[in-house]
Structure 1
Amino acid sequence: MVSANCDVLLPQVTYVRNTSSEQEEVVEALREEIRMMSHLSHPNIIRMLGATCEKSNYNLFIEWMAGGSVAHLLSKYGAFKESVVVNYTEQLLRGLSYLHENQIIHRDVKGANLLIDSTGQRLRIADFGAAARLASKGTGAGEFQGQLLGTIAFMAPEVLRGQQYGRSCDVWSVGCAIIEMACAKPPWNAEKHSNHLALIFKIASATTAPSIPSHLSPGLRDVALRCLELQPQDRPPSRELLKHPVFRTTW
Structure 2
Amino acid sequence: MEAFRTECQVLKNIVSHPNLLLFMGACLEEGKYKLVLEWAPNGSLESLANQDQQLSFKRKIISLNEICTGMNWLHDRQEEILHLQLNPSNILFSASMQVKIANYGSGKTVKDWNNPVYLQNKAVFYVAPELLQDPSKPSRACDVYSFGILAYHILTEKQPYNAVSLSKFKEEVINGSRPIMPQGTPQKLKEILESCWDKNTERRPSFKVLASEDWQKLISDTMSKNQKATEEMWLSLSKVPNQVPKSVPWLDFVKGFSTFLGVTTPKDTKLEETTPWKCIQYLLEAKSGTVTVENWNKFLGLFGPVTPGTVQGTAFLKHIVTLLQQDWFHGAIGGKEAENRINIDPNSKNASVFLLRFSDTSPTFTLTSRKKPSRSAPTEIKHERLTKESWTDIPSLIQYIEKEKKKRHLTACTHKRAYEDIFKKQQTVVTSVYEVHSSVLKKD
- Which residue in the other structure is 1:137 paired with? none
| Residues 103-182 of structure 1 aligned to structure 2 (within 5 Å) | 103-120=80-97, 122-128=98-104, 130-132=106-108, 148=112, 151-162=123-134, 164-182=137-155
1:226 aligned partner, one-letter code: S
More strand by share: 1
Deviation per residue, 1:77-126 (Å, 9 max, x gap):
35533212211110000010010012110000011100001122x00100
- C-alpha displacement of 1:128: 3.0
More helix by share: 2
- C-alpha displacement of 1:159: 1.1
Match for 2:12 among 38, 52, 72? 38
- For residues 167 and 56 of structure 2, the distance between their equivalents in structure 1, rounded to whole angstroms, comes to 33
- Which residue in the other structure is 1:23 paired with? none
Structure 1 runs (4+) deviating above 6 angstroms are none
1:105 aligned partner, one-letter code: L
Residues 82 and 104, structure 2, Cα contact 8 Å, conserved in 1? no
Match for 2:159 among 156, 172, 186? 186
- For residues 106 and 167 of structure 2, the distance between their equivalents in structure 1, rounded to whole angstroms, comes to 20
- For residues 96 and 161 of structure 1, the distance between their equivalents in structure 2, rounded to whole angstroms, comes to 23
- C-alpha displacement of 1:199: 1.7
- For residues 148 and 245 of structure 1, the distance between their equivalents in structure 2, rounded to whole angstroms, comes to 37
Q: Give TM-score scaled by structure 1 length.
A: 0.75
- Which residue in the other structure is 1:98 paired with? 73
- C-alpha displacement of 1:132: 2.7
Q: Give TM-score scaled by structure 2 length.
A: 0.44
Relative to structure 1, the CA distance from residue 74 to residue 245 in structure 2 (aligned partners, 3 Å threshold; closer, same or farther) is same
- For residues 49 and 116 of structure 1, the distance between their equivalents in structure 2, rounded to whole angstroms, comes to 17
- C-alpha displacement of 1:34: 0.6
- C-alpha displacement of 1:156: 1.0
Alpha-carbon RMSD across the aligned residues, in angstroms, is 2.3
Q: Which has the higher contact order (CA 8 A, sep 6+)?
A: 1
Structure 1 gaps, min length 5: 1-26, 134-145
SS in 2 for 1:50: strand
User: How much identity, in percent, do the aligned residues show?
Assistant: 23
- For residues 128 and 246 of structure 1, the distance between their equivalents in structure 2, rounded to whole angstroms, comes to 24
- For residues 54 and 144 of structure 2, the distance between their equivalents in structure 1, rounded to whole angstroms, comes to 21
- Which residue in the other structure is 2:168 paired with? 198
2:99 aligned partner, one-letter code: L
- C-alpha displacement of 1:244: 2.1
- C-alpha displacement of 1:217: 1.5
Aligned residues: 208
- For residues 247 and 172 of structure 1, the distance between their equivalents in structure 2, rounded to whole angstroms, comes to 22
Structure 2 gaps, min length 5: 221-391, 393-444
Residues 11 and 105, structure 2, Cα contact 8 Å, conserved in 1? no
